[in-house]
Amino acid sequence: MPSPDAVVIDANGVDSLITSLRAQGFRVMGPVVANGAIVHREIRAAKQLPVGWHDEQEPGSYRLSHGDDGEMFGWAVGPESFKQSVFPSRSVLWRARRDGQDLAVEATGDDVAPEAFFGARPCEVAALKVLGGVLAGAASPDPVFTRRRETAFVVTVECGRPAATCFCTSMGSGPGAAADFDLALTELAGPSGRFLVRVGSERGAAVLAGVASRPATAEDHRARDEVLGHAVAAISRTLDAEAAPGLLARNLEHPRWDDVAGRCLACGNCTLVCPTCFCAAVEETTDLAGTVEETRRWDTCFDLAHSYLHGGSVRVSTRSRYRQWMTHKLSTWVDQFGNSGCVGCGRCITWCPAGIDITEECAAIAASDGAVKTSEPTAVRDR
């Protein structure tokens, strides 16, 4: 039965939705074309959306093309995720000044306006939950993440055109949206500018109340099923998420780690585009006037310094750093947080300059499960 909470809006309705969110005090962050990619920026009107733009993604390759089909959401995911909004790449943790013989510590606060994540893909919404399991579920929840995630309004848009690098179907995160949104849109095929909207929260219903709509019919719901059915059929990459934790745990000395290390540049691109990677470093800077500032910035486990302990780095080789990244994503994350650290968005595949594909690496290990490296065992300093 069609849900009574579902309605249909047109392209003007999308514009009204943005206006309605702005009127309620949200800074609306939505998809726009900039620098040859679809990225998130503050938007004020639907005309800023990437209408007619499509992305073509392959390992190590991302290209945009334009058609005259008028689709607003005819693309998958770009290099940026909403991680930047809830876990900024730089944030000042505290600041202190010399005050006579004392030290005055200032609270830096985090007074940014609440944001609406407009056009977040279902895998992005899943990534926010995964990140929340790390940053908000801990004994000392991260105040920046917690505040920004709690105040954010999520308008997810289901996927009609997954990229060749997507594998959300393997990770249970897409292409349809099941939970954790305020509003969920599906761009329906046929007469252009028809969107099925499902309500996921009371405030979602309040925002939608100001937008012209009509109740969704059974035909509209069939049209949504068709969009999602095409999307599922278009996803060809797979990863056995259930088998991966055990597979990787018993293959720490597999020769494939040497093979991938021969291709990996240890650049860390995969971690920076990943919507769930949360490695961070903390830096202190001082000025001559006696002010000290402590800043947190994104870091990457591919950096030699990231595993520095007294006397040296723990993970010296690229082999051990790639293995650390992949086994954490797919195996030890499950031990720590009870779920996979990967949502199958495919960004690490597209934005890896060497075209390294996490699904291919996992499949290669599975194909010779139990193979053991025959050379010298791993040094203690390179685990």
Which residue ranges make up the site for ligand SF4 (CB under 6 A)?
264-270, 273-276, 302, 329, 342-348, 352-354, 356, 358
Question: Shortest approach of ligand SF4 to residue 269 CB, angstroms?
Answer: 4
Helices (H), 83-185: 83-86, 122-135, 143-151, 168-171
Check if the beta carbon of residue 19 is closer than 8 Å to that of residue 28.
Answer: no
Instruction: Between 221 and 306, name the residue whose CB sits nearer to ligand SF4.
Output: 306
Assign 185 to helix, strand or coil.
strand
Instruction: Between 196 and 356, name the residue whose CB sits nearer to ligand SF4.
Output: 356
DSSP letter string over 222-233? HHHHHHHHHHHH
User: Which residues, 6+ apart, have CB-to-CB distance to 206 below 8 Å?
Assistant: 24
Instruction: Between 72 and 264, name the residue whose CB sits nearer to ligand SF4.
Output: 264
User: Which residues, 6+ apart, have CB-to-CB distance to 345 below 8 Å?
Assistant: 77, 81, 121, 123, 124, 127, 166, 168, 173, 274, 275
Question: Shortest approach of ligand SF4 to residue 322 CB, angstroms?
Answer: 6
Check if the beta carbon of residue 156 is closer than 8 Å to that of residue 123.
Answer: no
Q: How far apart are CA 315 and CA 300, in angstroms?
A: 12
Instruction: Between 154 and 163, name the residue whose CB sits nearer to ligand SF4.
Output: 163
Instruction: Between 125 and 342, name the residue whose CB sits nearer to ligand SF4.
Output: 342
Q: How many residues does the chain have?
A: 383
Instruction: Between 284 and 335, name the residue whose CB sits nearer to ligand SF4.
Output: 335
Question: Shortest approach of ligand SF4 to residue 223 CB, angstroms?
Answer: 29
Assign 133 to helix, strand or coil.
helix
Q: How far apart are CA 287 and CA 289, in angstroms?
A: 5
Check if the beta carbon of residue 33 is closer than 8 Å to that of residue 46.
Answer: no
Question: Shortest approach of ligand SF4 to residue 369 CB, angstroms?
Answer: 21
**CA 332 and chain centroid, separation:** 19
Instruction: Between 16 and 271, name the residue whose CB sits nearer to ligand SF4.
Output: 271
Instruction: Between 83 and 221, name the residue whose CB sits nearer to ligand SF4.
Output: 83
Question: Shortest approach of ligand SF4 to residue 319 CB, angstroms?
Answer: 11
Is the preceding omega at residue 175 within 30 degrees of 0, hence cis?
Answer: yes
Nearest to 106 by CA among 296, 295, 293: 293
Residue whose pair of structure tokens reads 């996921």 in the numeric block: 200
Instruction: Between 205 and 281, name the residue whose CB sits nearer to ligand SF4.
Output: 281
Long-range Cβ contact pairs of 243-246 (< 8 A, separation 24 or more): 243/366, 244/330, 244/331, 244/340, 244/362, 245/330, 245/331, 245/332, 245/334, 245/335, 246/331
